[in-house]
Structure 1
Amino acid sequence: MKKHAVLTKSKVGIAVAIALSTQLAVAQEAATDAASAATIEEVVTTGTRLQGSAAAVVEERKAQAFVADILGAEQISRTGDSDAASALRRVTGLTLVDGKFIYVRGLGERYSSTQLNGASVPSPDPTRNVIPLDMFPASIIESMSVQKSYSPDMPANFGGGNVDIRTVSIPTDQVFEVSIGTGWDSNFSDDGLTYAGGGSDWKGTDDGSRALSGAMTSALARYQENINAANIANVEGISIADAQAINRNLAASLNTQNEVYTKSLSPDIKGSVSFGDSFDIYDDWTFGFLAGVDYDNSWSNSEETEKVLGIADGQSVVIQDGASRVTAQTVELSGILNFGLQYGDYHKVETSTIFLRNTQDRVEQGGVETANSITESNLSFFDTDIRYEERELLTNQVRGSHFFPELWNIAVDWQYAESEASRYAPGEVFYRQISNRDLGDGVGDLAFQQTRSATTLQYQDLQDDAQDWRVDVELPLYFDAVEVLVKGGGQLSKKARSSFSRRFAISAETVANDALQGVGYNELFSDSNLIDENFGFQLFGAPTATDPNYLAAQQVEAGYGLLDINLNNDWRVSGGLRWEQYTQVAAQLDIRNMTVIGDVAEAGRIEDDIYGSIALTYQLNDEMQLRFGYGSTVVRPDLRELTEVLFVDPITNFKVRGNSNLSTTDIDNFDMRWEWYLPAGENYSVGLFYKDLANPIEAVEAKGTDSDRVITFLNGQAGEVYGVEFEFLKDLTGLRDGLFVSGNLTLSDSEISIANTGNVELTNNTRRMTGHSKYVANLQFGYDSLDGEHSASLIYNVAGERIAFAGVKQGELGIGDAFEQPFHSLDLVYTWYPDFNSNVKLKVQNLLGDDVSIVQDGITIQERSVGTGVSVEYSYAF
C-alpha cells in the first residue's frame, strides 16, 4: 500500500523521489552499526506514539491540494472508537447523528457522500441513500479522508463533504494479529427484554422462524397478494365460510409466538483475526494477500420516554405520553480479503472483497397515555414492538495503478467496483393492550382490544446494487520553476434499488371480550385459537396505495479535467471542470402484478451540467501555508426521497413519505484555511467556510391524521451555512514527558427559508437548518510513557443543540421546533504494552453518564438513557 501511495499521490515528483530513495539506501549501507544502534535508541526514547500517529496523516493533509482532514488507524485506536461513524465525530466540524450518520459542517447526511476506497457504495437503509457508517468496524480501516472542499475528480453530488473510507491493504511483510474482548455497561443492572425466538444465535442470523411460511408465500402468489377472505372466495369460487377457514389457517402459519419476558443480559463479546504476507515470486513480480475477520456481539438496554405535543388553550400541551424499555442485541460480522500483484515499482493490481453484516434483534415495551384516556376513561395502553433486521454489504473491487516513465511519466489509475447492500426485516410484530391503571402507577391488568389490528406483522426486503467504473490519467510537465500536473478521467456509476413490504393484521373484532382479558400473547394467538371458527379471529392482508413497494435506478456519467500547477514551490493552483449527466427514475410498484403505478416517464428525470472548482495554496514558509477554495456542486434528491410511499424509519420510528416534486439543490462552496505544521507532529489551523444553497432539501413534519409524526421532504427557497474551524495538536513535554493535548472547535450558523404548503404548515419559515449545531468541540489529553509500555487518552466530545425536526402549526397556533440537546461524551482509553507483540486496552465510555434528549417548547419530548460502558480487549500481533 505504501508503494501504491507513492505512485498515486506524488507522481509529479516521482523521478526526484526515486533519486532520493537511492541516495538514502547508499547512506544507510554506509552507516556503522554503532550509529544505527544510536538511531534506534533515539527513536525509542524520544519518538512517542503521538508523533508516529500524527506524522503520516499530517503529511497527507499538508500535501492535499484541496481542504481535507485525514484520520489514521492509530488515531482511531487511541480514541477507542469501534466503527467509522463514532471515529469520524472526532474530526473538525463533524457531528454524529443516531450513531450512524455524519453531519459535515452542520449539513444533514444527504449533504455528505461516502466512498469506499474511492468507489461509491449502496445503502441498506430504507429511508436514506447514504450507507450507515456504523457498519464499518475500525479493524478494517486504514484511514479515512474527509474532503471539505470540492475537486473535479470527485462526484459533483457534494454538499458538506465527502468521506472516503480506505480499508487496510496488503502488507509488505508478514503480519498476524488476533484480539479478543468483552464489555458491559451500567444499564446491564436491569434485566433486558426478549421473546420466544428472540436473542439471535451467535451469528445473529434469522433461523427461518420469522420469515413468511411456505403456505403464505404460495397463497400470496395465488391470490395476488390479497389474502382477505372475500378475495379468496372470489378466486376459488367458494363460500365465504370456506374462504374464512383458508384465511384462518394462513394466520396460523405465521409466527405468532412472541410473548415478551425479561432475562439477564450477557456481557459483550468481540474478537478479530487477520493475516497477510507478500512474496517475491519471479524476478520483479511480487504477490501479496491480506485476510481478516471481525466479530462483535453486544447488548444495549435503555429506558426511553416520548411525548407528542398539541395546542390547547393557546399553549403547547402533552397529548400523548409514553415510557418504555428497549433491549437490543446487535451482532456484527465483517470480513476482508485482499490480493495484490505488483511488477517492479510501477505496476500494481489489487483486488478487495469486503463483507459487512449487522443484525439487530430489538424489543420495546412500555405504556402510552393519550389525552382521551387521561381525561375520559383513565386508561393507558401498553405497547409491544418487536423488530429484527439484517443489514449486509458485499463489495468486490479491482483496481490498478501504472506508471510509464518511458511515456513522458504518464500514470494511469483505474478501478471497477461492484457492490450489493440489503436489508431483510422479517416478522416485525406490534400489539397494543389496554391497562386499567395510569402509566405512572404501573402496568396494571392488561387486556387486548376488539380491534381490526389486535396484532400486526410486517415483512420487509430491500436490495440496493451499485456498479462503479473509473479511470484517471496523469501527465506531469516540468518547466523553469514550474511543475504542472495535467489530470483527467471519467467515471460511470450505476445504482438500482428494489423495496418490498407486506403487512398483515389479525383482527379480534368478533372475538368475545372475555376471551381477550387477562391472557398472554402466546396463549391468545395460539394456533388452536387462530383456526377455531368459533373463536372469531380473522387475518387481513391486501396491498394499499401507501405500501412501501418501489423500484428505483440511478446512473451518473462523468468526465473531468484538472490542472495542478506548482510555481516556485510558493504558489500552488489547482482547478478544473467536471461534466456530469444524471439520470434517475423512482416509481411505486404494484406488488400484485409487479407493475409500476403511474407513468414511468413522469417518474424519471435527466440532468446534465458542468461543475467547476479552484484551489489556491500559498506557502508562507516551510511550516505555514494558506489555502483558498471555491467549488460549484449539487445535492440531488435520493432514490427514496422521490418515491411517494410511506415508510417507518427504523431509527427514529417516524413515518416518512417521499415527494416526487423535489428539485436538485445547487451549492456554491467557499473555503479558506491557514495551516501551521511544526516538528514532533504539532500543528495548528484556522479555517473559514461559507456555503450558499439554492433549493435546499429539508425533512419536515407533514399534517397527519393521528398522533404519529409523518415526515416528508420539501425544497426551501434558499439556505446558507457559514462558520470558523480551529484545530490544534500540542506537545506538553514541558509539563511532563509524553504528555500532549489535541482538539478542535467549530463555530457556525445556518439559515433556511421554507414556504408553507397545503400539506406542511411550519411554525418558523425561517430558521436554522435541521441537524445544524452552532458549535462542535473535541478535546483529547494523551499520554505516552517514554518506555513505550503505557498510553492513555481522555477524550471529550460535544455538539451544540440542533433541530431534530421543525415545529408545525395546528390551526393558527404553532408548536416550536424540537431541539436535540448537547450530549457531553467523556471517554477514557488506557493501553498497556506488556511486550513488543501484545497489548491490553481498557475503555470507559460516557463517564459523565449523559442521556440523549430532545426538548420542544420547554418540554422534554424524547429521552433515552445511554449508560456508562466498560470494555477490555487483548491483542497479539507479530
Structure 2
Amino acid sequence: MRNLVVVFTLILASFSHAQSTGSVTGKLTDKDYNNEPLAFANVIIKGTTKGTTSDFEGLYKLEELQPGSHILQFSFVGYETQEIPVTIVAGETATVNVVMSASSASLDEVVITTTTKRESETALLLDQKKAVSIKTAIGAQELSKKAVSDAGAATLKVTGVNKKEGSSKIYVRGLGDRYNNTTLNGLPLPSNDPRNKNIDLSLFGSSIIESVGISKAFSSYMSSDVAGANIDIVSKENSKKSLFKIGVSAGANTQTTLKDFKEIDGANWLGVNSNTKHKIRNLSTYSFDNSYSPNSGKANPNLGLSVNYGKKIALSDESNVSFFLVGSFNNKYTFQEGASDAIVDINDNAILNVGSIFDTKTYKYSASKMLMGNIAYKINNNHKLSFNHLFVHSNTQKIQDFIGTTTDVGRDSDDNRLVNVLLQTEIQNKLFVNQLLSTNKLGESIDVNAALSYNAIYNDEPDRRKNTFIINNDTNTTRISQNAVRDNSRFYGNLFENNIAGKLSIIKYLGERYENKGKVTLGYNGSITDRKFDGIYFDHNFTNPRNTFVDINNLDSTFNQNNLDNAFFGIETSRGRNSDDAETYLPQLYDAEKTIHAAYIDAMFKFNDKFTANVGIRAEDIKMDIEWSTNISFPGFSSNSKIALDKQYILPTLNLKYQVNEKINLRASGGVTYTYPQFKEIAPFTYEGINFQESGNPALLPSDNYNGELKFELFPNKSELISIGVFGKLIQNSINRLERNSAIERDFTFDNSGDATVFGAELEGKLNILSKEIDDEKSQHLTIGGNITLMKTELKYNTTNTLFNYTGGSSELEGASPFTINADVSYRFKVNEKETISTLVFNYQSDKVYSIGTNFKENIVEKGVPLLDFVFSHKFNKNLSVKFNAKNLLNPSFERYRDIPEKLTMNTYKRGTSISAGISYSL
C-alpha cells in the first residue's frame, strides 16, 4: 500500500507540475535536400541538459519547461548549429520550425549531448558512418516497412546472412550456429534447444526490438567464441511522456486456412502444456496423459495481439523515471504437402536405392506469448540505471504423416502395400531474462559501465509419439509394423539451462568526452552456464505385430492398459537407465558446465581528422565439463563418462578507418577468434527423428579462426549508402556435422574434419530515387535497397581420420550459399498526418549444402528458390493505422537433392502464400 501511495503522489505531482509549465514543438528540415524532414537532430535548452531528438518526420517536442526566456540549440552531425530564443508561457505551447544547412565542420567537431534512439534507417546509417569498426544493423522502422515479425527474420535482411529452410539456424558468411554468438543488450543468452549453441531468434518478436546489430568484424569487448558474427538484439525503452498502443491482426495461408488440419493431443490453443514429464514408475502401468491419436479439425485463421504501454515521470529538470511494458500473443497454422525420396549411395557409378520413398503431409501449429518490462532511472544525462525483464513462452506442435515404400515393403510391382510413419512432436520453451544495466559519466573524461544478467531456459519435448504401420490396399487393413526398436515409441526430453553473466568497462577519453583524440577501455566479461538435459524412450514392442490391426483414427483402442495387461505389447526403455530399484526408470542424460573469464584492453586513437585506429587484446580462460550417462558408447569412451576442456587464449583485434571526405570511408579489420565445441556436439547422446539420428563426439577439439575484411562506404546523403567489401576466413581444425554409414538411413555426428576457408565479396546499396516535398503538407519518397553476397567456401578433408570415409577431397561448407541477394523497393506518400507506405521485398539464396556426406554418400543440397513479399500500411492519423502483407507470393517448391549428376530429389514441398491484415490504435 505504501508503494502505491508513493507512485500516486508522483503521478499527481507530475500532473500538477505540467499545469505550471509550458512546452515547445516544431519541425526541422534539411535545406540541402529539398527541405526534407531532418531526423534525429539534437534539440536542447542551452545551458541545461534538458533535450530531445527530432523523429523521422523531423518533428520534436520539449515539455515541462519553466516559464520565461530560453535559448533553443539545434545541432546535427555535419550541420551548422543554430541557436534561437523562445519565450515559454505557462500552459501554452510555442512553435519553432528550423531549416538546417550543412556545415564545413568535420564530424568530430559536432557535440552530441542527447541520446539517439537506434530505430530508424537514418539513425543506424549515421551510427554506421561514425563507427570505427565495421558494423551493420536493422532497426524497428525497417522491420515494420518489410513486415519482419521477429529477430530471426530481421537478420535475413542483412548482407551475408542466410538460413536453412525449415530451420531456425542462421548462417553468416557461410558459418552456422556453432560459429555465431547471440546477445541481448550486449549480454549472453541461453540456448533453447539441446542441439544448438544459440537461442532461436524467432522467439524475440519485433514489438520489443529497437534494432538488431550484426557485427561481422571483431572487437576485443565481444565474445571471441565466434567466427561468423555477433548478433546483438537491442530492446526498446520508452522515450515518450506517455505511450499506449494496441494492435490486432489476422492472417491466412492459401494451402492451410479453413482446411482439414491435425493437431497433437496435449497443449491447448494458447500453447500451454503442463504435462511435460512422464509419469511412468512401473512398466506394467500405462500412465500416459495424452492420446496417441491426433485430433482432427480445421485450421483457423492466424491471430496476433499486442499491447504497449509506457510512461515517463519527471523527477526534476534533469532526472526522470520511465516505464515500458509490452505484451503479445501470436499463433500460426501451417500445412505442407510434398515428397521425401530415397537416400542413395554411389558405388561404381551405379545408383543404389537403399532408402525410402514417401508422400508427406506436415501439420504445424505454433503459439507464442511474450511479456517484456523495462524501467529506467536517468539522472542529469550522466547516470542511468535500467532493469529489463523478458518472459517468452512458445509452443510448436508438428505432425508428420509419411506414406510410401521402403526397401522391403512396396518395391515390387505386385506389392500393393504401403508403409505409414506418423510422427507427433511438440516443443515447449519458457525463457526468463533479467538484466541490470548501469552507465555512468564521471567528470569530463571517464565512463564506467556495468551490467549483470541472470537467464534461464526450460525446453521440453513432451511425449513425442512415433508409429509405424503397414497399409494393405488389397485387404483394406492397417497393422502394426515393428522392424526396428523405435518404430512405435514415446519420448520425453527436458532441458534446463541457466546463465549468470556480468561485464564491467572503464573508459578513459584522451581529452574531454566530446572533443577527444581517442579513448582507452579496460574491461572484464564473465559468465557461468549450467545445462542439464535428459531424455527417455518408451518403446512399444508387440507380441504378434503382423496380426495386430489398428484403427488409425483411434490408436488409443490399441495402445491402452487392457492390451498391456493381456501382453499384446510390452514397454521397454532401451535408451533409459535402470536404477537398482527396478520399479524406477531413469532417462539418459548429460550434465554440463561452462565458465568463461575474459579481460581486455581496447584502445582507439584519432591520428588526425581522417585516420582512426582501434586495436585490442583479449585474454580468455574457458573451462567446459561434460558428464553423461547413456546406454551407448563412443570409441575410447564408455557410456558413463565425463570430459573436461580447458583452454586459454590471447586474441588480438584491429580495426582501421580512413575518412576520405564527409561522404566516403575506407575500412579494414582483422582478428583472431576460436570456436569451442558445443555441449550436444560432445555428449554421445543420441537424438532421433523420423528418418535420422544424431549423436555427439567426445573427441572433438576447439577450432582456431583467422578473420580479415576490407570495405568501402559511400554515404551520398544521410539516408543513402553504397558499400563494397571483401572478406576472408581461415578455420583450422573446423567442426562439422557429418553423415556417416549406419543401419539407420541418415546417421549424423560431428567431427574435426579439416581446415576450412571462406572468401567472399558483399555489395550493399540504399538509394532515394524520388524525394519530393510537394508543399508544406504533402511529400512523396521512392527508395530502393539491396545487397548481394558472393562467396566461395571450401572444407579440405582431414583424411587421416579413420572414423569417416570422406567422399572426394573437399566440400563446400554446410549452409553456405555461394550467391545471395536481398532487394526491396518502397514508396511513401504523406499528407499531414496521413501516410501510406508500400514495399516489395525480394530474396534469393542459391543452391547450398544442407548436409556434408561421408562414407561414399554425396552431399545433400538445398535448392535455391526466389521469395517475394508485399507490404502495405496506411496511417489515417497519429492514432489509427492499418497494415496488410502478403508473403511468399511466388510460392516456389522447396527441394533437397543428393549432389550426384542425376540430382535425385530427396525432399520437396511448398509453403503456400500467407496474407495478413492488422489494425493498431495508439495514444
Aligning the two structures, in what range does the TM-score lie when normalised by the shorter sequence?
A: 0.7 to 0.9
Residue 748 of structure 1 corresponds to which residue in structure 2? Answer: 791
Deviation at 1:489, TM superposition (A): 0.6
Task: Say if 2:488 is the partner of 1:455.
Answer: yes
CA positional deviation for 1:447: 1.5
Match in the other structure for 1:24: 73
Pick closer, same or farther for the CA change 1:20–1:75 going to 2, 3 Å.
closer
Tell me if 1:270 matches 2:325. Answer: no
Which residue number corresponds to residue 524 of structure 1?
Answer: 557
Q: Is residue 683 of structure 2 the alignment partner of residue 640 of structure 1?
A: no
8 Å Cα contact 1:504-1:540 kept in structure 2: yes
Shift of 1:567: 2.2
8 Å Cα contact 2:258/2:300 also seen in 1: no
Question: Residue type of the partner of 2:270?
Answer: K
Other structure's SS at 1:75 match: helix
CA distance, structure 2, for counterparts of residue 119 and residue 868 of structure 1: 37
Q: In the alignment, is the contact (CA less than 8 A) between 1:688 and 1:724 conserved in 2? A: yes
Superposed CA offset, 1:735-757 (max 9, x none): 99411111111111111112344
Partner of 1:539: 571
Alpha-carbon distance in 2 for matches of 1:196, 1:484: 59
Task: Name the TM-score, length of structure 2 as normaliser.
Answer: 0.82
Shift of 1:112: 1.1
Asked if the contact 1:454/1:508 (under 8 Å) is kept, the reply is no
For 1:809-820, list aligned pairs within 5 A.
809=855, 814-820=856-862
1:61 match: 128
Counterparts in 2 of 1:82 and 1:815: CA distance versus 1, 3 Å:
same
Could you tell me how far 1:579 is from its partner in structure 2?
0.2
2:763 — aligned with what? 726
Counterpart of 1:476 in structure 2: which amino acid?
A: Y
Looking at structure 2, the residues matched to 666 and 105 of structure 1 have their Cα atoms a distance apart, in angstroms, of 17
Q: 1:194 to 1:96 in 2, by over 3 A?
A: same
Q: Aligned partners of 2:782 and 2:643: how far apart in 1?
A: 59
Q: How does 1:571-582 map to 2 (within 5 A)?
A: 571-582=611-622
Aligned to 2:109: none
1:213-249 CA distance string (max 9 Å, x none):
3xx2xx2xxxxxxx5xxxxxxxxxxxxxxxxxxx43x
Counterparts of 1:177-326 in structure 2, within 5 Å, are: 177-188=245-256, 191-194=259-262, 197-198=265-266, 200-208=267-275, 211-213=277-279, 216=280, 219=281, 247-248=283-284, 250-251=285-286, 253-255=287-289, 257-260=291-294, 262-281=296-315, 284-311=318-345, 314-318=349-353, 319-326=355-362
Partner of 2:37: none
For residue 90 of structure 1, the aligned residue among 142, 151, 157 is 157
Match of 1:360 in 2: 396
**Following TM superposition, by how much is the alpha carbon of 1:660 offset from its aligned partner in structure 2, in angstroms?**
1.3
Match of 2:910 in 1: 865
Task: Return the offset for 1:519.
Answer: 6.5
Tell me what 2:38 maps to.
none
CA separation in 1, counterparts of 2:691 and 2:719?
A: 45
CA contact (8 A) 2:120 2:142 kept: yes
**Cα deviation code 1:171-220 (max 9, x no counterpart):** 2421111110010111126734425735x423211153x6423xx2xx2x
Unaligned runs of 5+ in 2: 1-45, 53-70, 75-80, 102-117, 578-585, 773-778
When residues 520 and 555 of structure 1 are mapped into structure 2, their CA distance, relative to the original with a 3 A threshold, is same
Distance 1:181 1:195, change over 3 A: closer
Secondary structure, aligned partner of 1:205: coil
Q: 1:642 to 1:685 in 2, by over 3 A?
A: same
Q: 1:508 to 1:55 in 2, by over 3 A?
A: same
Match of 1:792 in 2: 838
Q: Distance in 2 between matches of 1:844 and 1:306?
A: 28
> 2:140 maps to which residue?
73
Q: In the alignment, which residue of structure 2 is the partner of 1:155?
A: 223
Which SS does the other structure have where 1:149 is aligned? coil
- Describe the shift of the 1:703–1:530 C-alpha distance in structure 2 as closer, same or farther (beyond 3 A): same
Q: Tell which deviates more after alignment, 412-421 or 521-530.
A: 521-530
Partner of 1:231: none
Matches within 5 A, 1:327-342: 327-342=363-378
For 1:801, the aligned partner's letter is: D
* d(CA) in 2 for partners of 1:658, 1:196: 29
Question: Does the alignment pair 1:110 with 2:178?
Answer: yes
- Are the counterparts in 1 of residues 665 and 714 from structure 2 also a CA contact under 8 Å? yes
Letter in 1 for 2:837: S
Deviation at 1:301, TM superposition (A): 0.8
Instruction: Give the stretch that moved more between structures: 493-502 or 471-480.
Output: 471-480
What is the match of residue 658 of structure 1? 696
Structure-2 separation of matches of 1:523 and 1:659: 39
TM-fit CA distance, 1:654: 3.5
Q: Does 2:732 correspond to 1:694?
A: yes
Give the Å deviation of 1:425: 1.2
Deviation by residue 1:817-860 (Cα, 9 ceiling, x = unmatched) = 22101121100000011111221010100000113211212111
The answer (yes or no) to whether the contact 1:671–1:687 under 8 Å persists in 2 is yes
The 3-state SS of whatever aligns with 1:616 is strand
1:803-826 Cα offsets, whole Å, 9 max, x none, are 0012333xxxx3322210112110
Q: Which amino acid in 2 is paired with 1:316?
A: I
Secondary structure of 1:634's counterpart equals strand
Distance (Å, rounded) in 2 between the aligned partners of 1:807 and 1:599: 26
Letter in 2 for 1:729: K
2 CA distance for matches of 1:557 and 1:598?
31
Q: 1:28 to 1:99 in 2, by over 3 A?
A: farther
The answer to whether the aligner puts 1:568 opposite 2:608 as a matched pair is yes
Offset of 1:653 from its aligned partner? Answer: 6.4
Give the helix-richer structure, 1 or 2: 1
2:829 is aligned with 1:804: no
State the distance in 2 between where 1:591 and 1:855 align: 34
Amino acid at match of 1:30: P
Query: Structure 1 stretch 16-25 or stretch 485-494: which is displaced more?
Result: 16-25
Q: SS of 2:272's equivalent?
A: coil
2:61 aligns with: none
1:144 to 205, 209, 212: 212
Give 1:336 shift.
Answer: 0.3
Name the TM-score, length of structure 1 as normaliser. 0.86
* Larger relative strand fraction: 2
Residue type of the alignment partner of 1:579: A
Report if aligned partners of 1:421, 1:465 keep a CA contact under 8 Å in 2: yes
**Matches of 1:16 and 1:153, distance apart in 2:** 35
Evaluate the alpha carbon distance shift between residue 698 and residue 57 of structure 1 in structure 2; reply closer, same or farther with a 3 A threshold: same
Counterpart of 2:762, as a letter, is E
Tell me the residue number matched to 1:477: 510
Over the matched positions of the two proteins, sequence identity in percent amounts to 20
Partner of 1:782: 826
CA apart distance, 1:693: 1.3
C-alpha distance in structure 2 between counterparts of 1:815 and 1:96, whole Å = 23
Once the 2 structures are TM-superposed, how far is the Cα of residue 298 of structure 1 from its aligned partner?
Answer: 1.2
Residue 384 of structure 1: how far off its partner (Å): 1.0
Instruction: Give deviations 1:100-157, integer Å, cap 9, x for gaps.
Output: 2221111112111111110111111121111111111111100011111110011111
Q: 1:501 to 1:833 in 2, by over 3 A?
A: same
2: distance between equivalents of 1:296 and 1:275? Answer: 18
In 1: Cα distance, 2:653 partner to 2:193 partner: 32
Task: Provide the residue aligned with 1:771 in structure 2.
Answer: 815
Distance 1:557 1:455 in 2: 46
**Structure 1 residue 496 and structure 2 residue 530: aligned?**
yes
* Aligned-residue RMSD, C-alpha: 3.1
Q: Are residues 671 and 18 of structure 1, via their aligned partners in 2, closer, same or farther at CA, if it must alter by over 3 Å?
A: farther
Corresponding residue for residue 838 of structure 1: 880
SS of the residue aligned with 2:191?
coil
